[in-house]
C-alpha cells in the first residue's frame, strides 16, 4: 500500500470528467426557460428549448413570469447573462455523453480557457526572466533578514490583503500569479510550501466566501434575487472578520510547528525537492543592488497595475496578460539580457507552468460535459423541490450544503448566481425569511467547498506549488469542518433574529 501514490491533478480531473459523463446516463436531462435583456433593442429575449420570442422590457413582463427583480437591474447592466425562469423546468430526452464526448471535453476546455491559459504561460515566462536576473534571490535574502523573528507578520499580512481582494473584487484566478513569488519568501522564513499555499488560496477563498462588495458574486446574486446588495452586508462583514481570524489562527498554529520542527510538515518528504525548485537561500552572496531593486519594483508594479485594472477598469485576462508581457520585456532590458537569451529563458519559464495550463483546460472540460448532458438544471430543480416546506432554520443550513454540492458542478460564482437565484430566492418567501439569507447560503456554500473543490482552482494552485491533492486535504479538511460549524451557527442566528 505504501507504494501506491495519489493520482496527479490531471488524472483526478479526468476521473471526475469520466464520472460526470457517466452521470449523464443516469440523471434525467432537463432545462429551465431563460430570459435575457437585449440592450440594443431594449427588450427581453425569452428562450424555451429551441424557440425564442421577444418580450417588452417592462416590470409587467417580469411579473407575468414570476420574476421579482426590479427592471432597472437589467437595464443598467447589473444582470447581463441569461437568468433561469422559475417554474419552467422541462424534462428533455437524455443527452448521455459517451466516450468521444469524454475525450473531446479537455480539448474543448482548453479552447474555451485559452485566455487564462495564455495568462498562466506568460506569467511563467516572466518568472523565468526574474529568476535569471537573480532579483528574487537578492530580494528574498533581504526580506528574510528584515523579518527575522517576526515571520508571523508575513502570514497575517498576506491573508488579510488577499482576503480584502477576494471580498471586494473577487480576487481568485489572479492569485495564480502570486505563488512563484511568495513560496521562496515563506521557505526563507523556515515555513513550508503548504503555508505559502494556504495564505494565498485560503485568503482568497475566505474573502470570496464572505463577499461584501464583490460584483461577481454578492452583487449579481442580490440583483438576481431582487434585493439590494447592501441587505445583509453587516452580517457578511462580521463573517469575513471572524473567518479571517479563524484562518489566521489555524495557519499560524501549523506554521509555528513547522518552523520549530520541519519534520512536522505534511510535505516534509518533499522539502528538498521543493527547495531545489523554488530556492530558500538567504546567503549574504545575494546582494540587493540598485539595478535589482529597480527590477523588483517593475515586477511589483505589474501586480499593482493588474489589480487596479481588474478592480477599476473592468480588465480581464487579455489585459492582465499584456501587463506581464510588457513587464517581462522591460525587465529584460533592465537586466541587459541578449535577445536570444531572453526568448530562450522566457519560453523555458512558460514551459514550467504548462502543466498548470492543462489542468485549467481539463477542469473547464468537466463543466462542458455537464452543459452538454443537460443535468445541471435537473439537479437544481430537485434541490428546490427537496427544500420546499422545511422549517426555516433547517432550510437555511440544508441550502448551505446544497450550494456546496452545486458548486462542484457549477464552480463559476456569477454563473451559479444567475442560474440559481431566480429559482431559489422565492423559496425564502415561503419559509418566512429574507432573501438575503438565500444569497448568504449561496456565498457560504460555494465558499466552503472552494477550499477543496477539485473542479475549482485548487488543483491548478497545487500544481504550481508541487503539492499533492491528498496532502492538501489532510491540511485543509479540519479547517473546513471548523468553518462549516461556525457558518451553520451564524446562519441559524441570522434566520431567527
Q: What percentage of the chain reaches a pLDDT higher than 70?
A: 97
Backbone angles phi, psi at 315, to 5 degrees: -70, 160
Give the predicted TM-score (pTM) of the model. Answer: 0.82
Q: What is the CA radius of gyration of the chain?
A: 24
pLDDT of residue 286: 62
Q: Which residues contact 351 (CB under 8 A, 6 or more apart)?
A: 124
pLDDT for residue 22 is more than 70:
yes
Q: Where are the domains of the chain?
A: 33-88, 107-355
pLDDT of residue 402: 94
pLDDT of residue 453: 92
Residue with cell 503555508: 195
Q: Tens digits of per-residue pLDDT, 80-124?
A: 889 999 889 999 999 999 999 999 999 999 999 898 889 889 988
pLDDT of residue 283: 47
pLDDT of residue 1: 43
8 A C-beta contact, residue 66 and residue 427? no
Give the C-alpha separation, 183 to 468, whole Å: 16
Quickly list H helices, 451-468: 458-465
pLDDT of residue 311: 73
pLDDT of residue 56: 93
In which region does residue 34 sit, left (phi positive, over 0), alpha (psi from -120 to 50) or beta (all else)? beta
pLDDT of residue 195: 95
- Residue in 209, 211, 187, 183 with CA at minimum distance from that of residue 197: 183
- pLDDT band, very low/low/confident/very high, at 76 (cuts 50, 70, 90): confident
Give the C-alpha separation, 307 to 418, whole Å: 25
Q: Tens digits of per-residue pLDDT, 224-253?
A: 888 888 888 999 999 999 999 999 999 999
Give the C-alpha separation, 34 to 46, whole Å: 6
8 A C-beta contact, residue 382 and residue 30? no
Question: Which of 100-104, 350-354, 396-400 shows the lowest mean pLDDT across its residues?
Answer: 350-354
Q: Tens digits of per-residue pLDDT, 326-351?
A: 999 999 999 999 999 999 999 998 99
pLDDT of residue 464: 87
Instruction: Identify the DSSP state of 25.
Output: T
Query: To the nearest whole number, what is the mean pLDDT of the chain?
Result: 89
Q: How many CA atoms lie within 13 A of 48 on its CB side?
A: 9
How many residues would you count in the chain? 497
pLDDT of residue 282: 47
Q: Tens digits of per-residue pLDDT, 317-326?
A: 899 899 999 9
Q: Tens digits of per-residue pLDDT, 263-319?
A: 999 999 998 898 888 865 444 456 788 999 999 899 889 888 988 887 788 788 899
Amino acid at each position: 500500500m505504501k507504494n501506491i501514490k495519489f493520482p496527479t491533478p490531471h488524472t483526478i480531473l479526468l476521473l471526475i470528467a469520466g464520472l460526470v459523463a457517466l452521470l449523464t446516463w443516469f440523471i434525467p436531462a432537463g432545462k429551465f426557460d431563460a430570459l435575457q435583456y437585449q440592450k440594443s433593442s431594449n427588450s427581453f429575449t425569452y428562450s424555451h428549448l429551441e424557440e425564442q420570442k421577444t418580450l417588452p422590457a417592462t416590470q409587467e413582463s417580469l411579473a407575468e413570469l414570476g420574476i421579482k427583480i426590479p427592471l432597472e437591474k437589467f437595464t443598467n447592466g447589473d444582470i447581463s447573462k441569461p437568468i433561469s425562469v422559475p417554474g419552467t423546468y422541462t424534462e428533455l430526452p437524455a443527452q448521455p455523453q459517451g466516450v468521444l464526448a469524454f475525450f473531446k471535453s479537455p480539448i474543448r476546455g482548453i479552447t474555451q480557457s485559452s485566455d487564462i491559459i495564455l495568462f498562466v504561460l506568460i506569467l511563467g515566462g516572466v518568472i523565468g526572466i526574474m529568476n535569471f536576473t537573480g532579483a528574487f534571490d537578492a530580494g528574498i535574502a533581504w526580506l528574510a533578514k528584515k523579518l527575522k523573528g517576526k515571520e508571523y507578520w508575513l502570514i497575517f499580512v498576506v491573508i488579510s490583503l488577499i482576503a480584502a481582494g477576494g471580498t471586494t473584487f473577487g480576487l481568485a484566478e489572479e492569485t495564480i500569479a502570486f505563488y512563484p513569488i511568495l513560496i521562496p519568501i515563506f521557505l526563507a522564513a523556515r515555513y513550508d510550501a503548504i503555508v505559502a499555499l494556504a495564505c494565498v488560496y485560503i485568503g482568497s477563498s475566505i474573502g470570496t466566501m464572505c463577499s461584501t462588495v464583490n460584483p461577481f458574486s454578492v452583487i449579481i446574486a442580490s440583483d438576481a434575487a431582487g434585493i439590494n446588495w447592501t441587505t445583509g452586508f453587516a452580517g457578511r462583514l462580521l463573517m469575513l472578520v471572524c473567518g479571517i481570524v479563524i484562518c489566521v489562527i489555524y495557519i499560524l498554529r501549523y506554521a509555528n510547528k513547522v518552523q520549530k520542527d520541519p519534520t512536522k510538515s505534511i510535505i516534509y518528504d518533499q522539502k528538498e525537492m521543493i527547495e531545489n525548485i523554488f530556492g530558500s537561500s538567504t546567503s549574504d552572496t545575494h546582494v540587493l543592488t540598485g539595478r535589482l531593486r529597480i527590477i523588483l519594483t517593475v515586477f511589483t508594479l505589474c501586480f499593482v497595475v493588474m489589480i487596479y485594472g481588474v478592480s477599476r477598469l473592468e480588465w480581464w485576462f487579455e489585459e492582465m496578460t499584456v501587463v506581464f508581457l510588457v513587464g517581462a520585456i522591460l525587465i529584460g532590458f533592465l537586466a541587459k539580457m541578449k535577445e536570444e537569451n531572453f526568448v530562450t529563458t522566457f519560453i523555458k519559464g512558460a514551459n514550467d507552468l504548462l502543466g498548470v495550463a492543462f489542468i485549467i483546460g481539463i477542469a473547464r472540460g468537466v463543466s462542458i460535459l455537464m452543459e452538454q448532458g443537460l443535468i445541471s438544471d435537473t439537479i437544481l430543480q430537485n434541490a428546490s423541490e427537496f427544500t420546499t416546506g422545511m422549517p426555516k432554520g433547517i432550510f437555511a443550513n440544508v441550502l448551505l450544503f446544497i450550494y456546496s454540492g452545486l458548486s462542484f458542478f457549477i464552480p463559476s460564482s456569477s454563473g451559479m448566481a444567475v442560474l440559481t437565484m431566480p429559482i431559489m430566492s422565492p423559496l425564502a418567501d415561503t419559509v418566512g425569511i429574507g432573501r438575503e439569507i438565500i444569497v448568504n447560503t449561496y456565498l457560504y456554500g460555494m465558499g466552503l467547498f472552494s477550499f477543496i473543490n477539485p473542479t475549482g482552482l485548487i488543483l491548478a494552485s497545487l500544481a504550481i506549488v508541487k503539492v499533492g491533492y491528498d496532502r492538501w486535504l489532510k491540511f485543509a479538511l479540519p479547517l473546513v469542518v471548523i468553518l462549516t460549524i461556525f457558518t451553520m451557527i451564524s446562519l441559524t442566528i441570522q434566520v431567527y433574529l
